[in-house]
């Protein structure tokens, strides 16, 4: 176990620690996927074990499900939960209106389904993910394997008429083979550099045959919790129009930090 976390991991941890304060006993909680979300799952697991918190977690990927079970969280399917009180997840980018790009971890489809089936979505992140305009991070688009090259060509042709700076798409790989999502699909990463109209982009992409879902999360996120390496957190609530800053005491926990592989 490392004796000290890096500033970026401290930022992720304090954001996660602040976000789990929104979770109450008896809640149905959507559990996000990715390195920042993994901190959140660990924090919730600690609350379950040490404080007796009773929750049911709906994971957005198989690896999140495995981690949740490992830390003692009861895992159920979305069909079992039916509706969620809250979802906590990370993001690859977010803008001032709390629109997001997600899917860097390849779980965008389940993440979007779970987030939209929740009363509230909280995003946990570090300050480096904030952008003036979405698009610097490649936009993931989940596509079915059948005819994926035709789908890619159609997307690239359509991008020529869109308000973007880049118009290329690449198939995400896992070593020498295409990356495969939990649903058995592929991911095309769109290298757009800047997305002038994210809402229009999301609608047009999802109208294309072969496209399952895209990584633009528009009008889904309610609150973003930004963590900093010195322990500071900033909470922005898009609905209330408020910004709140706090300083969290950083105390290393043997149980919480014993597995840093995610």
92 is in an annotated binding site: yes
Of 102, 44, 35, 50, the residue nearest 70 (C-alpha): 44
Show the tokens assigned to 51.
């404080």
34 is in an annotated binding site: yes
Catalytic one of 111, 176, 249, 252: 111
The secondary element (H helix, E strand) that includes residue 245 is strand 242-247
229 is in an annotated binding site: no
166 is in an annotated binding site: no
Say how many residues make up the chain: 262
- Give dist(CA 95, CA 102) in Å, integer: 12
Determine the distance from the C-alpha atom of residue 29 to the mean position of all C-alpha atoms in its chain, rounded to a whole number. 14
35 is in an annotated binding site: yes
Asked about 111 being catalytic, the answer comes back as yes
135 is in an annotated binding site: no
158 is in an annotated binding site: no
119 is in an annotated binding site: no
Within the chain, where are the H helices?
Answer: 7-19, 35-51, 62-70, 78-81, 108-116, 148-159, 198-206
Residues of the binding site: 33-36, 89-92, 102-105, 129
Residues of the binding site for substrate: 33-36, 89-92, 102-105, 129
Instruction: Give the catalytic positions in this structure.
Output: 111
């Amino acid at each position: 176990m490392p004796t000290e976390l890096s500033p970026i991991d401290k930022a992720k941890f304090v954001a996660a620690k602040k976000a789990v304060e929104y979770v109450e006993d008896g809640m149905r909680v959507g559990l996000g996927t990715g390195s920042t979300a993994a901190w959140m799952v660990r924090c919730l697991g600690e609350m379950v074990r040490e404080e007796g918190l009773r929750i049911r977690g709906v994971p957005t990927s198989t690896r999140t499900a495995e981690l949740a079970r490992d830390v003692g969280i009861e895992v159920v399917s979305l069909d079992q939960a039916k509706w969620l009180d809250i979802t906590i997840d990370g993001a690859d980018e977010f803008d001032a209106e709390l629109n997001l790009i997600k899917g860097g971890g390849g779980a965008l489809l389940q993440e979007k389904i779970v987030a939209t089936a929740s009363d509230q979505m909280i995003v946990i992140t570090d300050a480096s993910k904030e952008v003036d305009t979405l698009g610097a991070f490649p936009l993931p688009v989940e596509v079915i394997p059948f005819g994926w090259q035709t789908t890619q060509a159609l997307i690239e042709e359509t991008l020529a008429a869109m308000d973007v700076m880049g118009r290329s798409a690449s198939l995400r790989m896992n070593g020498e083979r295409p990356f495969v999502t939990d649903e058995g699909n592929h991911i095309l990463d769109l290298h757009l550099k800047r997305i002038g109209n994210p809402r229009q982009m999301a609608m047009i992409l999802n109208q294309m045959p072969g496209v399952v879902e895209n990584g633009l999360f528009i009008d889904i996120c309610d609150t973003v919790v930004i963590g900093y390496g010195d322990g500071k957190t900033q909470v922005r609530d898009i609905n209330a129009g408020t910004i709140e800053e706090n300083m969290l005491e950083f105390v290393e926990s043997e149980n919480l930090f014993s597995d840093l592989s995610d």
